[in-house]
Structure formats: C-alpha cells, structure tokens
Amino acid sequence: MKKLAVIAFGGNALLRGDQVGTIDEQEQNVYETCQHLVPLIKEGVDLVIGHGNGPQVGTVLLQHEAGNKLFDLPRQPIDFCVAETQGSIGFMIEQQLRNVLAEQGISRNIVTLVTQVVVDKADKAFTNPTKPVGPFYTKEEADRMAKENEWVFHEDPRKRGWRRGVASPRPLDIPNWEAVEKLAREGHIVITVGGGGIPAYVEEKGKMVGIDAVIDKDLASSLLATKIRADEFCILTDVPNVFINFRKPGEKKLERVHLDEIKKHLDDGQFTEGSMAPKVRACIEFVEKGGKDAIITEAEKLGNPEAGTVILP
C-alpha cells in the first residue's frame, strides 16, 4: 500500500499578511504552494488536501452584511458562507495544482469535494466565539463593528490588529470519509474538509442541519487523517517550525519532539489559542490515534526530512 498523506494548507499558502486578497494574489500563492507538492507526487505519495478559510469567510460575511444594508439582500448564515469559500478555494487549489502538474508532465485526477463536518450543537464553543475570521482591523474599527453588529473581536497575538471571533466547535464526524479514502488510495488527489468543513449537526432520524460556526481546519484535517488511516499529517503554516518562548528570551525551535514533551509545552501555555495551539493539538490527536508522523512547517520545507517540527509517538 502506497504512503497516504493529508496536507492542510494554511497561512501564506493561501493569503499573506501584507496582501488584500485579490484573486491574482491568492492564485499566485496557491500556485507556489502547489509547486512544493511535486516531489511528493513524483514519489508516488497519495495526497489529500485540506485548507483554511479564515480571511476568505470573513470577507464573504462582510459582503453579505454590506449587501443587506445597501440593497436589502438577505444575509446568509456562516455555514452557507463556509460552503461558498469551500467551493471557491477548492477551485483555486484544483486549478493551480492542475497547472503545476501540466508543467511537470504529470497526469493525475484532482477532485474537490463539498464536505460537511458534524459538530455538537451543545458544544461550549458556541458561548465563547474565539475563532478568528476575516481581515485585521484597528481597535477603533473593531469597537464600531462590534457595537453595530453585536460581533466579538479579539486582538491578534502577533499584534497585527483585531479580528472577528466566531464559534469553533470540535469536529466529531466527516460523513463522506470513506469516499475520500477510496479516491485517494486509487491515486486521485482529493481536496476536502475545506475551511474545516461546512458545520452541521444531526437531529433525530439523521437529519443534518447547518449551524453558525467555523470549524478549525487543522482539527478537521487531523480527524480525517485518522479516519482514512493516513501515514502522515502535515500542517503548512507561515513559519518553518514550532517554537517555545516565541519572540521572547529563551526562544527555541522545536525539531523532532515526542508526544510527552509537546503536550507539556501545550499545557504550559507555550502556544497561543487561535494561532499555534490548535495546530499542535491537531498533530497530537493524530499521533495519539495511531498516526506515524505529524509535521508543522512552511510549504518551502515540505518533503525535507530534516525540516519542520515533527511530532513523534
């Protein structure tokens, strides 16, 4: 059986901090990220790709808000907006990866799946909306929009501004994971659980209902990696490694680290919620449930066995 890897796109894989988010910017970022997948594909690794949508879904929410105010168009709920961005980002990744493979003379099918992810509607996250979405604002802008829309804002831990916070419940199930595994093991590249998946809960008799939330894409990708029995789970972000004492005296880069050590760092508060903590937590869960390797790194280091932070059993 060939190696199966789940790779979660995030950070500058989609949008960089100094960019406004034009289609040209995003397509170029995705194209450059997909170039770093080529060595894995040439090695015959079966790939499943997940991705975030924080800036994009925040923008879509603002578009719906503006349309309601200016033209009396109906606002759509967050789960609907997640579905919009799942489709649009999946389209960008599929198109740019096809372009990269065509340049390399590689023929592979690429499939983008609209994916719901099941959550618990009683999850305590719904009373504590901490998941950052959308662009960065000044404190004055954030205060004004919080008052106008009854939104919650949090300051970015890297002091880049203020971002809206929404509920981020824990993913519990991915209804079409068997189809994802089958397609991937047949050699098709699958793009799925985009933006963490479209959040839904299950009522009596199995009826699925959408709910206002944005699921963490790293936790959803980790759950998928476990379900499809992936060998490797990799989170791409905008830093080459995980650090302790990040940007403080005694800063230290983590390279190959075992579960007990990384869990202690997490318990000690070394990793910020809304930033590195969910990534570390997602990797821990994958390894604890039988995964071989979990890696956090930037796209440029992908495939280098000496690069990134590797979490081991």
- What stretch of H or E contains 49? strand 46-51
Identify the active-site residue in 50, 53, 58, 131.
Answer: 131
Name the pairing type of β-strands 162-166 and 152-155: antiparallel
* 2 annotated active-site: no
Query: Token pair of 282, please?
Result: 């997602």
Query: Token pair of 169, please?
Result: 């419940």
Query: Token pair of 21, please?
Result: 């988010």
Between CA 276 and CA 256 the distance in angstroms is: 17
* 12 annotated active-site: yes
Identify the active-site residue in 52, 197, 217, 308.
Answer: 217
Between CA 241 and CA 30 the distance in angstroms is: 20
Distances (CA, A) of 39 to 26, 51, 79, 124, 300: 22, 20, 35, 42, 12
Identify the active-site residue in 10, 29, 58, 279.
Answer: 279
Closest CA to 51 of 210, 213, 184, 192: 192
Identify the active-site residue in 11, 50, 165, 195.
Answer: 11
* 279 annotated active-site: yes
The owner of tokens 């050699």 is: 187
On the CB side of 90, CA atoms within 13 Å amount to 24
Backbone angles phi, psi at 173, to 5 degrees: -155, 155
DSSP-derived secondary structure letter, 149: H
Q: Are 237 and 296 in contact (CB under 8 A)?
A: yes
> 3-state class of 215 per DSSP?
coil
- What stretch of H or E contains 148? helix 139-149
Query: Token pair of 135, please?
Result: 């662009």
Q: Which residues are catalytic?
A: 11-12, 131, 217, 279
